[in-house]
Chain A
Amino acid sequence: MAAPLLSVEDLRVEFGVDRNVFPAVDGVSFAVDRGATLGIVGESGCGKSVTSLAIMRLVSVPPGRYAGGAIRFDGQDLLRLPESRMRALRGGRMGMIFQEPMTSLNPVYTCGDQIVESLKVHSDLSARAARDRAIELLDLVRLPSPAKRVDDYPHQLSGGQRQRVMIALALANDPDLLIADEPTTALDVTIQAQILELMKDLQDRTGTAILLITHDLGVVAETCDEVVVMYAGTVVEQAPTAALFGDPQHPYTVGLMAAVPRIDVAADRLATIEGSVPPPWQVLAGCRFASRCPLADDRCRNEPPPLRAIAPAHRVACWHAPIDGAAA
């Protein structure tokens, strides 16, 4: 088997100063193969965004700190790369799309200028050629009348159109890896579907690997080959999409799936997971999910469960796994 394009190994990112240091990401590992799509799911504050920023090495230091582990991209450890080589990767072989299309583009430059800027950093295209390429990219992301839109300012576009521009920007230099941090969260549902479809289609054409960060299980089911479920800064379950949805093993994953409203089942109340995520500065001896877990016992509260394989490619961090008859 070929080495994965991206592999994150035991990554630990801390925040804070002096004595108030806490880990936002604590021992996270996963890998993304060339051309594949990996989803990272979890609720707000579970560390998924920090993980994605860490891969681009865009966590602001301080207050952040890369406290351990490695991020290997095509063999080189990004955490040890000099800043100039890291810059060449950012926007070059690694592109990133953010959650907020409304604010992620600079309001004082035209969409075209912002794409051209990225092209010029990473290649020596002439102004003319860069502009043509920008129009081509806007066409690729199916922005209507790209030759006119290229001179529009972001405020003249809708949210969905701006996210298309962001995708064009991220894809400008044919990246090997596209990191999408909640790319559809701020958009309304019909636009969400269009954007996801666009990303899948572009992946088929360009062979880009995608790391998709989301809290939306529906999005994961539609787009990802493999899923990593994160909880309070750690990976609690990792499996191919079909296995995860067919046979979720971690009580947290089970709870997440039960919380998705279903159109075919009448319910007065939506299922929820009792309690809330422990704050990252709270020191816990055992499993971080124990306080909310229906299966928790003394061992769970005192000993952190390691991530272990219960089937090929299916790994769970739970003392009770494999659980049988878990309902999805």
Chain B
Amino acid sequence: MIETIVNRLLLSIPVLLGVLILGFVLVQVAPGDPARVLAGPMAPPEVVATIRERMGLDDPIVVQFMRYMGRLMQGDLGRSLISNKTVISELGAAIGPTVELMFACLIWSIPAGIAMGTLAAVWRGSLVDRVIMAFSVAGVSLPIFFICLVLIQYLGVKWQLLPFIGRGGPLWTVDGLRHIALPALSLGLIFIGPVARMTRSSVLEVLRLDHVRTARAKGLSERAVILRHGLRNALIPVITLIGLQAGYLLGGAVVTETIFSYPGIGRLAVGAILSADFPLTQGAILVLALAFILINMIVDILYALLDPRVQKK
């Protein structure tokens, strides 16, 4: 098991390097001049030129990248061009809320998706199945911003049940929970659909297998057959899907955080890109990439825990 984790960590180094190069180049080719941003729109061209020179923006791109990497190795991500705070402190403040949002989203949507998929499989072809599948297709097809807006319109504005602007505080406070409810609900709704569909088809497939017949021949109750021998085996592909969907979820978080003015990494990244704040943009890209790698590693570990055949290789 430890070997698996170490292997995965080593494998993630080239991935991370690729992300760094790509992120750096993208920021270079994006419109907007960092020197101009720093100097302000009214500054005379000489001032901008001086800043350009001081920041080393006239050097070849390779030299700039090496310099960036050198600083990165020392843990220096630079300073935000807009707020002049260190990028580390900006990211540090935004990471907590995003992790909270992810947690609040996954904690309800994964169990709900798996439960819905299992019920749909067990009552295949029934009304329950059709309602769940319709719900899941809607979740897959509706764009996240639309779901957010509909929830805000009804739960937030019309019925005034829940707040929909900003963060109320840490997750363990009542206000924190109230504020995170709508973003977590919106984000979870797009996550449930694929999980429910995958669980349904996977459970249906597993319930046809020979070992399920053996389980029945042992005299197990239908519930035990479905939960212990059906769902347990069916979860293996579902976990893979959850890992893949997590990338989509990070993207969804960018939109969700922006719509709900939620102070997380996603909103920070959007703000940084729109204001051409390139050190902060690169930092946000780095954090999102790290999150993606981490999630995939967790999935690989879960995979090995669920399927003994994976471990022994």
Contact = CB atoms under 8 A, between A and B. Distances in A.
Interface of A: 56, 58, 87-92, 95-96, 98, 100, 103-108, 117-118, 121-122, 153, 155-156, 166, 169-170
Interface stretch (B168-176, B211-219, B237-245): B211-219
A108 B233 CA distance: 7
- Interface pairs A-B: 10 shortest CB-CB: A91-B219, A91-B218, A90-B219, A103-B210, A118-B218, A106-B211, A96-B217, A153-B308, A104-B210, A87-B219
B219 A107 contact: no
Contacts of B233: 106-108
Contacts of B306: 108
20 contacts: A58-B213, A58-B217, A87-B219, A90-B216, A91-B220, A98-B214, A103-B210, A104-B211, A104-B214, A106-B215, A106-B229, A107-B233, A107-B307, A107-B308, A107-B309, A108-B308, A117-B218, A117-B220, A117-B228, A169-B214
Contact of A98 (B213, B308, B309): B213
Nearest to A86: B219
Interface in B209-264: 209-211, 213-221, 228-229, 232-233
A166 B213 CA distance: 12
Main secondary structure of the interface of B (DSSP, over half): helix
Given A90-B216, A103-B209, 13 more contacts: A91-B220, A92-B219, A98-B217, A104-B213, A105-B214, A107-B211, A107-B307, A108-B308, A118-B218, A122-B219, A155-B309, A166-B214, A170-B217
Nearest to A117: B218
B312 interface: yes
A95 B309 CA distance: 28
Contacts of A106: 211, 214-215, 229, 233
A24 to B, nearest CB: 17
Nearest to A100: B210
A127 to B, nearest CB: 16
Contacts of B215: 106
A296 B210 CA distance: 40
Contacts of A104: 210-211, 213-214
Contact of A153 (B214, B229, B232, B309): B309
Question: Which of B210, B219, B228, B312 is packed against the most chain A CB atoms within 10 Å?
Answer: B219
Question: Which of A106, A121, A169 is packed against the most chain B CB atoms within 10 Å?
Answer: A106
Nearest to B221: A87
Contacts of B213: 58, 98, 104
A89 B216 CA distance: 11
B218 A98 contact: no
A96 B214 CA distance: 8
Contacts of A103: 209-211
A121 B214 contact: no
Contacts of A96: 217
A270 to B, nearest CB: 31
Contacts of B229: 106
A89 B219 CA distance: 7
Contacts of A153: 308-309, 312
A56 B217 contact: yes
Contacts of B307: 107-108
A155 B306 CA distance: 14
B219 A98 contact: no
